[in-house]
Amino acid sequence: NAGVTQTPKFRVLKTGQSMTLLCAQDMNHEYMYWYRQDPGMGLRLIHYSVGEGTTAKGEVPDGYNVSRLKKQNFLLGLESAAPSQTSVYFCASSMTSGPYTQYFGPGTRLTVL
């Protein structure tokens, strides 16, 4: 049981390049989330999904897109990367009913030059 996995672990992009971060979970969770973590800002929700085929905006969605084509996978895309998107990105998943605990992946460290 791997829990929540993320690929890649590290990535360096140039301004304007695009990329996709992949999150996978094997806990059969309905809900999945993407966060970013920046020094002094804490964890902030980018987008989330309450089920296959559905997505919704979180606190800081601008510049990102997401897709949930399969229940176990949640993709985060950057169409045109900007230096302000340099951050550590975490994916999480949870059940639909109590205790609603979110379980996190190991993170992806992204640097945009």
Partner 1 sequence: EDQVTQSPEALRLQEGESSSLNCSYTVSGLRGLFWYRQDPGKGPEFLFTLYSAGEEKEKERLKATLTKKESFLHITAPKPEDSATYLCAVQASNTGKLIFGQGTTLQVKP
Which region, judged by CB under 8 A, interacts with partner 1, from 11-19, 36-44, 64-72, 77-85?
Answer: 36-44
Binding flag, residue 102, partner 1 (CB under 8 A): yes
Which residue of 19, 43, 60, 95 would you call a contact of partner 1, by CB under 8 A? 43
Q: Mind spelling out the 3-state secondary structure of the chain?
A: CCCEEEECCEEEECCCCCEEEEEEECCCCCEEEEEEEECCCEEEEEEEEEECCEEEECCCCCCCEEECCCCCEEEEEECCCCHHHCEEEEEEEECCCCCCCCEECCCEEEEEC
- Token pair of 28 as six digits: 């059969």
Q: Residue 61 Cβ, how far from partner 1 at the closest point, in Å? A: 13
Strands 108-112 vs 10-13: parallel, antiparallel or unpaired: parallel
User: Binders of partner 1: how many residues, by CB under 8 A?
Assistant: 20
Binding flag, residue 54, partner 1 (CB under 8 A): no
Binding flag, residue 61, partner 1 (CB under 8 A): no
Q: Residue 81 Cβ, how far from partner 1 at the closest point, in Å? A: 22
Query: Which residues form the interface with partner 1 (CB under 8 A)?
Result: 4, 40-45, 48, 58, 90, 98-107
